[in-house]
């Protein structure tokens, strides 16, 4: 388990996605180990989300602990189901831009992305517990979790885009290294030779922004697709926090939608 956490730490620090690590045009993230760590981190944040229900009932209601358990189960499920639904589309988009990443490589990359997202969520877990103890406002807790999830999503998808860009750049360099480096030098976006060296750039640092415009455009479309699927999946799997005036249930009826519910929470929070 410690080994897997170290591997995730390497992803967060950018060690697994530097140019030297991607020199063969593929990512070597271990699917099994990172998946286990990701599930653990997701369950941890789910417990933190469910803490609101336990605090609100004073820890005496069995249903509140059931909500905590349900959140711990459904939070990692939310991300992996979203990955499963969007995986075929990313593979097709990946092929459209001329990348030769295999299905396994795409899965490795997506699992690494989930690792980044859920590491960010788990890091915010103590903050969620703190506000669960210090406030009774359900709309505030709902919006707080939406904001944290949005930040985690932005960072995870930024990691995905940067890594995909780097993979495309590496593959272009492998196909025609001299011509590629000359073109990059003319654009003056990166220094000659920088693309194939191990530099201290962080995981989200830009590499070759003047190249692969087509790839960036196509992958950004996929990011929108992933975001919409994730939002809808969270709505299907709700509740995650547990509304104080409603009995515990694993799933709620599919009324309204995510965006209307968020707007309603904002209106209630500010007394509109």
Half-sphere exposure of 220 (CA within 13 A, CB side): 6
Q: What share of the chain in percent tops pLDDT 70?
A: 79
Residue-level pLDDT at 198: 47
pLDDT at 163: 83
Q: What is the C-alpha separation between 213 and 203, in angstroms, rounded?
A: 20
Torsion of CA 39, 126, 13, 85, to 10 degrees: 30
37-71 per-position pLDDT tens digit = 999 999 999 999 999 999 988 878 888 899 999 99
pTM over 0.85: no
Give the residue among 20, 29, 17, 27 at the shortest CA–CA distance from 173. Answer: 20
Question: DSSP 3-state assignment of 256?
Answer: coil
* In contact, 38 and 115? CB cutoff 8 Å: yes
Confidence of residue 177 (pLDDT cuts 50, 70, 90): low
DSSP single-letter state for residue 188: T
* CA gap 25, 168 in Å, rounded: 8
- Choice between 19 and 81, residue whose per-residue pLDDT is larger: 81
Report d(CA 127, CA 13) in Å as an integer. 23
All structural domains of the chain with their residue ranges: 2-269
Q: How far is CA 40 from CA 94, 107, 157, 224, 245, in A?
A: 29, 19, 20, 26, 30
Band of the pLDDT at 26, cuts 50, 70, 90? low
Half-sphere exposure of 124 (CA within 13 A, CB side): 19
Of 110-119, 151-160, 184-193, the one with minimum mean pLDDT is 184-193
Please report, for residues 18, 122, 231, the alpha-carbon distance to residue 43 in angstroms, rounded to integers and kept in the order given: 29, 9, 18
- What's the pLDDT score for residue 172? 65
Tell me, what's the pLDDT at 15?
75
Distance in angstroms (rounded) separating the CA atoms of residues 103 and 108: 9
- 50 in helix, strand or coil? helix
Over the chain, what is the mean pLDDT?
Answer: 81
The DSSP-derived string for 110-131 is HHHHHHHHHHHHHHHHHHHHHH
- The residue-averaged pLDDT of 164-174 equals 71
Runs of H (alpha helix) within 97-212: 103-134, 138-175, 177-187
Specify the DSSP element, H or E, that contains 272.
none
Q: Using one digit for the tens of pLDDT, what is the confidence trace for 232-253?
A: 999 999 899 988 888 888 888 8
Q: Would you give the DSSP letter of residue 193?
A: T
Separation of CA 3 from chain center: 21
Q: Which strand (E) or helix (H) includes residue 232? A: helix 213-237
For residue range 91-135, list pLDDT tens digits in order: 888 777 766 677 888 888 889 999 999 999 999 999 999 999 999
Q: d(Cα 68, Cα 248) in Å, to the nearest integer?
A: 10
How far apart, in whole angstroms, are the C-alpha atoms of residue 67 and residue 241? 7
Residue 182 has pLDDT above 60, yes or no: no
pLDDT band of residue 13 (cuts 50, 70, 90) is confident
Average pLDDT over residues 124-151: 94
Who has greater pLDDT, 20 or 206?
20
Confidence of residue 200 (pLDDT cuts 50, 70, 90): very low
d(CA 272, CA 170) in angstroms, rounded, equals: 53
């Amino acid at each position: 388990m410690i080994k897997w956490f170290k591997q995730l730490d390497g992803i967060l620090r950018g060690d697994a996605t530097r140019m030297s690590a991607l020199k063969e045009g593929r990512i070597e993230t271990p699917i099994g180990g990172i998946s286990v760590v990701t599930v653990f981190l997701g369950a941890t944040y789910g417990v933190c989300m469910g803490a609101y229900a336990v605090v609100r009932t004073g820890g005496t209601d069995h249903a509140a602990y059931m909500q905590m358990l349900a959140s711990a189960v459904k939070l990692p499920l939310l991300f992996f189901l979203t990955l499963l639904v969007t995986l075929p589309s990313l593979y097709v988009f990946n092929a459209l831009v001329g990348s030769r990443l295999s299905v396994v490589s795409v899965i490795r990359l997506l699992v690494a992305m989930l690792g980044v997202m859920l590491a960010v969520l788990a890091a915010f877990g103590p903050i969620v517990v703190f506000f669960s103890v210090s406030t009774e406002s359900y709309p505030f807790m709902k919006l707080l979790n939406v904001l944290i999830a949005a930040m985690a999503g932005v960072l995870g998808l930024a990691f995905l885009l940067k890594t995909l860009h780097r993979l495309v750049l590496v593959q272009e360099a492998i196909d025609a290294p001299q011509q590629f480096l000359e073109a990059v030098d003319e654009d003056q976006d990166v220094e000659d030779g920088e693309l194939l060296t191990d530099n201290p750039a962080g995981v989200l640092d830009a590499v070759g922004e003047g190249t692969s415009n087509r790839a960036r455009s196509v992958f950004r479309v996929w990011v929108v697709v992933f975001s919409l699927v994730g939002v809808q999946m969270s709505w299907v799997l709700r509740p995650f926090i547990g509304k104080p005036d409603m009995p515990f249930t694993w799933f709620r009826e599919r009324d309204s939608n995510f965006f209307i519910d968020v707007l309603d929470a904002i209106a209630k929070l500010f007394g509109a």
